[in-house]
């Protein structure tokens, strides 16, 4: 973000407008596709919900008719044919409620990748077959109560997980639906209402008081406070005046404003966020995979332990019904109900809280890996600093041009760019009521500056790096002890002046740095800015080091160097100019408010350019991972105790299925409570 380049400028032609319209139609088509995808997802959620409630209702009489539950609770309920009623109700729950898991078993075995579905399906099938045999004459006690409670809890776990994934995108869909269908197009003195999808870049639109902003753009007239809470998580209305960017979907306050459209259709902020959420939905959590690996091993252990139990008791001369009961007890008890809830509950809570705090998680594994970060590399402008440059001083170095005239020429070139430095210079020129000149042959000098022709003469606005590379001496006047960013003006390749700008360090930066340092991280800054400015910011914040005047590819080298030193590196940048470094880092964090948010290579996007959010990200990632591991430990720890006792091999310590039920329930309750504690920790 530091680079003083100007890649965003484009001359807009009739072809551009046609292309924009085409992209809008593509967006509508994509939106229809997304709607279809979300409808399918919603139908699946509804299906799990329906299966859960029907199974839950049938579970009540099944529990009441189960002799084991009657013994446990000290009551008796018997009547002629009660066991056949129990069998009938349990059969409905097994085939109707258990169908997703039976189908999942087939899918996992077909992929040669047994996991959670296989473990659940094996447990409920063994429990159903054995219990049915008991009803029809086999000596023993049925496991219908265990069968139905397992199905109900697993349905609940999957329902919660699917709802949490759907929740974020559903909120975004609501935003899209709430977008106004019409916009007030300003054409000279006339105002014409047109459909939003007819808007083109560079169009000027009027937004009246309390109306929704129909497209991303820049305020060109008026001043108002906008409610962006549904988009950025910022609860307070944000003041917007001339030159400020606005996001489509935000709500205007009590004053009307005019906005120049900058992004429409698939380029808009909302559309990019929807795409990010869809990617997040497809992303697999590494810890979720850990739960599936645990389930796979538990499947092998359950089948192996069950078989060993059966063979051992028969070889010791015990009756078949006793050996079968022990085998079934082992196989059913070794499927922990809690394991099905361990990850979904934590994912649901962390997703909801993170979204409310302005964190868009594109890669869940990277989010969980935030706990491993040992080195953090910060971009400077807009992250550690406010990113709003103000001209602090400007000097002419030529007798034939006054300092105000110099500012006018430089601002004329800079008005072609959206870079914070450019905006600062243009703002200063307009405040001084200077007339801007016509620029021809405008061109960006990647990461070094810009050039163009004004009044037939060649002008360049460049960084100190350009002067060094072209062996042009930097004047003494340009130096100062202040944390300034300096650009130089060249006319016909001759240095004729400079402009110094300053950018304030954010109030939140110091606190964020302090929080991250407490976590044992090394903190660095990589900036395209000059050595003096970089050192001033680094010293003030107490960073471990800084890199100044670096180009995009050099940031990649910095990341690689830290990785070679054994660090797990996070990079924070704007997600576009810093794409290579974000891709190279172990965790790429894109920071940028509004339209800067759509980072193509970042793992995590922070909606607000606030260093406090980076600290929150690390804390949330650690807390989420810890809760997942704690829950997995509780869920599988139950097996470590219950399974050996269920075999009956330990003299005097044979667990009855009823006691197994108590252990199972306790484990599930602990996992649920522990997941809820995460919410309190993340919000506090």
Residue 522 has pLDDT above 90, yes or no: yes
At residue 2, the pLDDT reads 39
At residue 662, the pLDDT reads 62
At residue 582, the pLDDT reads 81
Contact 164, 171 (CB under 8 A): no
Q: Which residues are catalytic?
A: 379
pLDDT: which is higher, 641 or 311: 311
At residue 17, the pLDDT reads 34
Catalogue the long-range contacts made by 553-556 (C-beta closer than 8 Å, 24 or more residues apart): 553/580, 554/526, 555/377, 555/526, 555/580, 555/581, 556/580, 556/581, 556/584
Residue 495 has pLDDT above 90, yes or no: yes
At residue 486, the pLDDT reads 87
Query: pLDDT-based confidence at 320, cuts 50/70/90?
Result: confident
At residue 642, the pLDDT reads 75
Asked which of 223-232, 260-269, 311-320, 367-376 is least confident by mean pLDDT, the reply is 223-232
At residue 272, the pLDDT reads 63
Beta strands across the sheet bearing 587-591: 359-361, 604-606, 587-591, 569-573, 375-378, 522-526, 545-547
Task: Tell me how far apart the alpha carbons of residues 89 and 66 are, in angstroms, rounded to a whole number.
Answer: 12
Helix (H, G, I), strand (E, B) or coil at 505: strand
- Max mean pLDDT among 130-139, 233-242, 634-643 falls in 130-139
Query: pLDDT-based confidence at 358, cuts 50/70/90?
Result: confident
Q: Which of 287, 246, 259, 305 is nearest to 119 (CA)?
A: 305
Query: pLDDT-based confidence at 165, cuts 50/70/90?
Result: low
Asked which of 11-15, 58-62, 99-103 is least confident by mean pLDDT, the reply is 11-15
At residue 38, the pLDDT reads 52
At residue 335, the pLDDT reads 65
At residue 659, the pLDDT reads 65
- Where exactly are the structural domains of the chain? 37-175, 200-263, 360-384+506-607, 387-505
DSSP-derived secondary structure letter, 504: P
Query: pLDDT-based confidence at 490, cuts 50/70/90?
Result: very high
Residue 9 has pLDDT above 60, yes or no: no
Please, what CATH class does the domain formed by 360-384+506-607 belong to?
alpha beta
Query: pLDDT-based confidence at 25, cuts 50/70/90?
Result: very low
Residue 228 has pLDDT above 80, yes or no: no
Condensed to tens digits (0 to 9), the pLDDT of residues 250-276 reads 888 888 899 999 887 666 666 665 565
At residue 26, the pLDDT reads 34
Task: Tell me how far apart the alpha carbons of residues 615 and 612 are, in angstroms, rounded to a whole number.
Answer: 5
Residue 369 has pLDDT above 60, yes or no: yes
Asked which of 476-485, 496-505, 588-597 is least confident by mean pLDDT, the reply is 588-597
Q: Which of 429, 299, 283, 426 is nearest to 361 (CA)?
A: 283
Residue 594 has pLDDT above 50, yes or no: no
Residue 5 has pLDDT above 50, yes or no: no
Which CATH number, 3.90.1280.10, 1.20.1540.10, 1.10.287.610, 2.70.150.10, labels domain 200-263?
Answer: 2.70.150.10
Q: Which CATH superfamily does the domain covering 387-505 fall into? A: Calcium-transporting ATPase, cytoplasmic domain N (3.40.1110.10)
At residue 306, the pLDDT reads 83
Condensed to tens digits (0 to 9), the pLDDT of residues 422-480 reads 888 998 998 888 988 888 888 877 667 888 999 889 999 998 888 888 888 888 887 76
């Amino acid at each position: 973000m530091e680079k003083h380049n100007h890649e965003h400028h484009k001359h807009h032609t009739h072809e551009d407008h046609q292309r924009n319209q085409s992209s809008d139609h593509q967006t509508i088509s994509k939106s229809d596709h997304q709607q279809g995808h979300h409808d399918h997802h919603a139908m699946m959620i509804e299906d799990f919900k329906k299966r859960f409630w029907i199974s839950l209702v049938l579970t009540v009489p099944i529990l009441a008719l189960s002799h084991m539950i009657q013994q446990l609770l000290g009551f008796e309920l018997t009547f002629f044919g009660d066991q056949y009623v129990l069998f009938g109700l349990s059969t409905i729950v097994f085939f109707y409620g258990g169908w997703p898991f039976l189908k999942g078993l087939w899918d996992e075995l077909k992929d040669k990748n047994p996991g959670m579905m296989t473990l659940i399906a094996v447990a409920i099938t063994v429990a159903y077959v054995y219990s049915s045999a008991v009803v029809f004459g086999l000596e023993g006690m049925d496991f219908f109560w265990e069968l139905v409670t397992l199905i109900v809890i697993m349905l609940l776990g999957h329902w919660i997980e699917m709802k949490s994934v759907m929740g974020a995108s559903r909120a975004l869909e609501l935003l899209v639906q709430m977008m106004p269908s019409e916009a007030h197009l300003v054409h000279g003195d006339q105002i014409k209402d047109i459909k939003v999808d007819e808007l083109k870049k560079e169009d000027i639109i009027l937004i009246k008081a309390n109306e929704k902003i129909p497209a991303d753009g820049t305020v060109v007239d008026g001043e108002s406070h906008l409610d962006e809470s549904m988009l950025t998580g910022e609860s307070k209305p944000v003041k917007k005046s001339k030159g400020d960017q606005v996001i489509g979907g935000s709500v205007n306050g009590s004053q009307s404003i005019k906005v120049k459209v900058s992004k429409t259709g698939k380029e808009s902020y909302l559309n990019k966020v929807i795409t990010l959420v869809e990617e997040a939905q497809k992303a697999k959590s590494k810890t979720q995979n850990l739960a599936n690996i645990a389930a796979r091993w538990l499947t092998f252990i359950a089948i192996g332990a069950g078989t060993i139990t059966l063979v051992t008791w028969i070889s010791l001369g015990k009756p078949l019904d006793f050996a079968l009961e022990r085998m079934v007890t082992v196989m059913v008890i070794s499927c922990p109900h809690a394991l099905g809830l361990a990850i979904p509950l934590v994912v649901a809570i962390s997703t909801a809280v993170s979204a409310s705090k302005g964190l868009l998680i594109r890669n869940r594994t990277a989010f969980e890996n935030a706990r491993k970060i040992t080195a953090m590399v910060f971009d400077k402008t807009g992250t550690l600093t406010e990113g709003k440059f103000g001209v602090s001083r400007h000097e002419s170095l030529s007798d034939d041009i006054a300092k105000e005239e110099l500012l006018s020429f430089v601002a004329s070139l800079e008005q072609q760019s959206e870079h914070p430095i450019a905006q600062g210079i243009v703002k200063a020129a307009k405040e001084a009521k200077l007339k801007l000149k016509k620029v021809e042959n405008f061109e960006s000098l990647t990461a070094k500056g810009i050039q163009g022709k004004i009044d037939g003469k060649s002008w360049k606005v460049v960084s100190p790096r350009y002067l060094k590379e072209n062996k042009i001496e930097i004047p003494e006047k340009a130096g100062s002890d202040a944390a300034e960013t300096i650009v130089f003006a060249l006319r016909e390749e001759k240095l004729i002046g400079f402009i110094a700008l300053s950018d304030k360090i954010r109030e939140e930066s110091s606190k964020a740095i302090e929080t991250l340092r407490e976590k044992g991280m090394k903190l660095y800054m990589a900036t395209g800015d000059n050595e003096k400015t970089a050192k001033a910011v680094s010293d003030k914040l107490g960073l471990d080091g800084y890199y100044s005047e670096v180009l995009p590819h050099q940031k990649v080298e910095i990341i690689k160097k830290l990785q070679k030193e054994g660090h797990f590196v996070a990079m924070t940048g704007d997600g576009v100019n810093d794409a290579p470094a974000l891709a190279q880092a172990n965790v790429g964090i894109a920071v940028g408010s509004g339209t800067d948010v759509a980072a193509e290579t970042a793992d995590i996007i922070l909606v607000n350019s606030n260093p406090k959010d980076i600290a929150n990200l690390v804390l949330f990632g650690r807390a989420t991972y810890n809760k997942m591991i704690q829950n997995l430990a509780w869920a599988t720890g139950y097996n470590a105790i219950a399974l050996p006792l269920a075999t009956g091999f330990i003299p005097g310590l044979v667990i009855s299925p009823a006691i197994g039920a108590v252990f199972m329930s306790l484990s599930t309750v602990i996992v649920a409570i522990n997941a809820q504690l995460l919410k309190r920790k993340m919000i506090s």
